[in-house]
């Protein structure tokens, strides 16, 4: 399953934690925490970015069905603007772990930083490709955030959110310049801030 499994794997119940949505200009940053059930393995877990959207959807349902515990949480654009994206990401991760129905013995966090949690935790660089629990968390977070972008697309199709998921693509930047920011846009992110500055100076 994971060819580069960790050298060190703590005993007990491990929660994998990952987030999606640091880079986009719009919407929530979404985090997930998952404790897998060794008795009910899930085949094909991998970094969510490497999977097709159809495969992610299938795994999303399997993870929710078979995991011992899972939770998806988020931080809003207003919280991102107030705290900055790093701290808002940590907040979303804290909420995801706090929302687990079972308290893990240990948490493994994708990346190089750890939020303050109620259990011991350790960051794992490229963890979404190395730790099954983090892969599962990345899949839950990605599917949830993509669904939020689809909903925003239904409300505001002229921005193209279903295609670019809020990332600063040329299409998104062009729509932002032409139509202006939505309430869901992150005001502290430079392209949005610059657009708001332009609008106030018109």
- 140-166, pLDDT tens digit by residue? 999 999 999 999 999 999 999 999 999
- pLDDT confidence of residue 76: 98
- Same domain for 142 and 161, yes or no, is no
Examine the pLDDT at 167 and tell me if it is beyond 80: yes
Do 89 and 140 sit in the same domain of this protein? yes
What is the per-residue pLDDT across 8-53, written as a single tens digit (0 to 9) for each? 678 899 999 999 999 999 999 999 999 999 999 999 998 788 899 9
- Domain presence at residue 78: yes
Question: What is the average per-residue pLDDT within 106-134?
Answer: 95
Q: 9, 99 in Cβ contact below 8 A? A: no
Residue 107 has pLDDT above 90, yes or no: yes
In this structure, is residue 20 part of a structural domain?
yes
Q: Are residues 123 and 179 in the same domain?
A: no
The number of domains in the chain is 2
Same domain, residue pair 44 and 137: yes
Find the domain containing 119 and state its range. Answer: 14-146
Domain for residue 94, yes or no?
yes
Within this chain, do residues 49 and 136 fall inside the same structural domain, yes or no?
Answer: yes
C-alpha 43, offset from chain centre: 21
How far apart, in whole angstroms, are the C-alpha atoms of residue 47 and residue 51?
7
Task: List the CATH number of the domain containing 74.
Answer: 3.30.420.10
In a domain, 2, yes or no: no
| Inside any domain, residue 53 | yes
- Across residues 57-75, what is the average pLDDT? 98
Query: 116 and 179: one domain?
Result: no
Name the token pair of 19: 């987030």
What pLDDT does residue 5 have?
53
Q: 111 and 173 in one domain?
A: no
pLDDT above 90 for 69: yes
């Amino acid at each position: 399953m994971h060819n580069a499994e960790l050298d060190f794997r703590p005993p007990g119940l491990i929660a994998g934690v990952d987030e999606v949505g640091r880079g986009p200009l719009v919407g929530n940053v979404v985090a997930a925490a998952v404790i897998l059930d060794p008795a009910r393995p899930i085949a094909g877990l991998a970094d969510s970015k490497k999977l097709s959207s159809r495969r992610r959807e299938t795994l999303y349902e399997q993870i929710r069905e078979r995991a011992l515990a899972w939770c998806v949480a988020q931080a809003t654009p207003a919280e991102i603007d107030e705290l900055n994206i790093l701290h808002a990401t940590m907040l979303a991760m804290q909420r995801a772990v706090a929302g687990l129905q079972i308290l893990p013995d240990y948490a493994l966090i994708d990346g190089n930083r750890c939020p303050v949690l109620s259990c011991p935790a350790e960051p794992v660089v490229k963890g979404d490709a190395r730790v099954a629990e983090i892969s599962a968390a990345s899949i839950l977070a990605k599917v949830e955030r993509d669904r939020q972008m689809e909903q925003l697309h239904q409300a505001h199709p002229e921005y193209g959110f279903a295609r670019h998921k809020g990332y600063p693509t040329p299409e998104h930047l062009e729509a932002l310049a032409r139509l202006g920011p939505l309430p869901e846009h992150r005001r502290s992110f430079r392209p949005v801030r610059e657009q708001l500055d332009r609008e106030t100076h018109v």
